[in-house]
Chains A and B, each alone.
Chain A
Amino acid sequence: MDKDNSSIEYSLSVNGNSHEISKSWLGESLLYVLREELGLYGSKNACEQGECGSCSVLMDGVLACSCLVLAANATGRNIETIESLSDDDSLTVVQEAFIETGAVQCGFCTPGLLVTIHDFLETNPEPNVLEIREAISGNLCRCTGYGRIVEAVQIASKQKSTGQGGDDVSS
């Protein structure tokens, strides 16, 4: 949106790095700043109204839709995006489980689901199917029908509880 010459400046802590944001419009969402200012394209922009969960991030460890966060109000908070999930080229247990069950089709919902599921398994390491379905109820997937995603969460849960860490689960 075309605004007058006044803009606001603030800093954001994203995945452990501090960024100075300037020439910013007050109404910008955190999702917009992540993608268009910081080049973090993993968080997807689909609905812009909190319906789809494709833009899910953690703010101070709390799962939220970054499209519904005023970017300026994310200052002073620790933001973690999908890009922070693994440090290098290795995959997490949940990512491996997604590959094993075929939980990825078009892939647009996948980053949001992975952020959601990693957060969920931290607080509920051995969930039942109903708990899994409620946990991912804010992440829309129009391809899979969710069956393979639920299955992936179950596999990841088992892998985590047997302490196999990031080992390849498909072998």
Chain B
Amino acid sequence: MEFHIASSTEEVCGLLAEDPTREILAGGTDFMVEVNFRHKDPSAVIAIDRVPELKQWRHDGDAVSIGSCVTYREIERGPLSTIVPALAQSARTVGSPQIRNVATIGGNLGTASPAGDMIPVLLALDAKVIIRSIDGSREVSIDELITGVKETSLADNEFIEKIRVPILRGPQEFLKVGPRNAMVISIASLAMVTDLERSAIAIALGSVTAAPSKAREAEAYIQDFLDWNVMTVESSALPNFRRLVGEASSPINDHRSSATYRKHAVGVLGQRALLRIFESRDDG
């Protein structure tokens, strides 16, 4: 049985190269639930939550680089909350203050739950994940990293170093549905981001697909009904838009919700997000 508290990314690389079966521990809010319920029996753990460079974020050209151990709390309350507002919105909906104080953005990606609330936001923003190992760095998109339910393309000797998130000018929304406002795992969620420079809109779905997924048909469809100069949307397009968002999902029935409800709910979230960003206009 062995336990390591890493103090640098080089040390993490070395420890994983030496023995790739060593498990990475970040905030622990998923890891320890598994351990407490005896679903996981760790024999070798590397804690990375004290590595200084993983706990920092910084401007990186027209993006921000967020270390994998930056907490929800910092994203929710710190300067990042105005730089990537939808990420802050999603952070605030997760767990409780106790959870957000320690849970990390890298942990959310590494756990790769379909209900991970940062995942649709990062996908909509076309964020890139920088993965490290002793062999160097590689950069992947969110849907290249997360390949299925709790499945990632991370090799055993790799770990998530940072996430590079583009800074866009334009409104962003993250919405989710659950049985209550706090301490809730999403039944359905949706991220919508706009880029005023390119008159572009991106929509990604959470908890309604096995792997991260965009609503590409809905994105393409609604473009024809948007006026980017005055930020309006033709109201006649809303029913079709709502339907297309729902059809982009492939939800399952489980103890949290039925597939039928999830498909309906995510369409409603799409329309709600759209109307928070664009004013509805009747085209007589």
A-side residues, CB < 8 A to B, are 1, 3-4, 6-8, 10, 25-27, 29, 48-51, 53, 56, 62-65, 67-70, 72-73, 75-76, 116, 120, 134-135, 137-140
Cα distance A7–B3 when bound, in Å?
Answer: 10
- Whether the Cβ atoms of B97 and A63 lie closer than 8 Å is yes
B49 on the A face (CB < 8 A): yes
Q: If the complex has contacts A48-B37, A70-B45, are A64 and B25 also in contact, measured as CB distance less than 8 A? A: no
- Whether the Cβ atoms of A73 and B41 lie closer than 8 Å is no
- Whether the Cβ atoms of B1 and A138 lie closer than 8 Å is no
- Give the shortest distance, in Å, between B43 (CB) and chain A (any CB): 7
B-side residues, CB < 8 A to A, are 1-3, 5, 25, 27-29, 31-33, 35-38, 40-43, 45, 47, 49, 95-99, 101-102, 181-183
Q: If the complex has contacts A8-B1, A75-B5, are A29 and B98 also in contact, measured as CB distance less than 8 A? A: no
Specify which chain A residues have a CB less than 8 angstroms from the CB of B181 in the assembled complex. Answer: 137
| Contacting residue for B98 out of A6, A64, A72, A76, CB 8 A | A64
- Give the shortest distance, in Å, between B49 (CB) and chain A (any CB): 7
The 4 A-B pairs with the shortest beta carbon distances in the complex, nearest first, are: A138-B96, A137-B182, A48-B36, A27-B35
| Contacting residue for B45 out of A26, A75, A135, A137, CB 8 A | A26
Given A26-B42, A63-B97, 19 other A-B residues pairs in contact with their CB atoms under 8 A: A1-B38, A4-B1, A7-B1, A26-B45, A27-B40, A50-B32, A63-B98, A64-B101, A65-B29, A65-B98, A68-B27, A68-B29, A69-B32, A73-B28, A76-B5, A116-B97, A137-B97, A137-B182, A138-B183
Cα distance A7–B43 when bound, in Å?
Answer: 10
Q: Which residue of A lies closest to B40 (CB)?
A: A27
- Whether the Cβ atoms of A70 and B29 lie closer than 8 Å is no
- Give the shortest distance, in Å, between A51 (CB) and chain B (any CB): 6
Q: Which residue of A lies closest to B28 (CB)?
A: A68
Q: Which residue of B lies closest to A52 (CB)?
A: B183
Cα distance A48–B95 when bound, in Å?
Answer: 14
- Whether the Cβ atoms of A138 and B98 lie closer than 8 Å is yes
Cα distance A49–B97 when bound, in Å?
Answer: 14
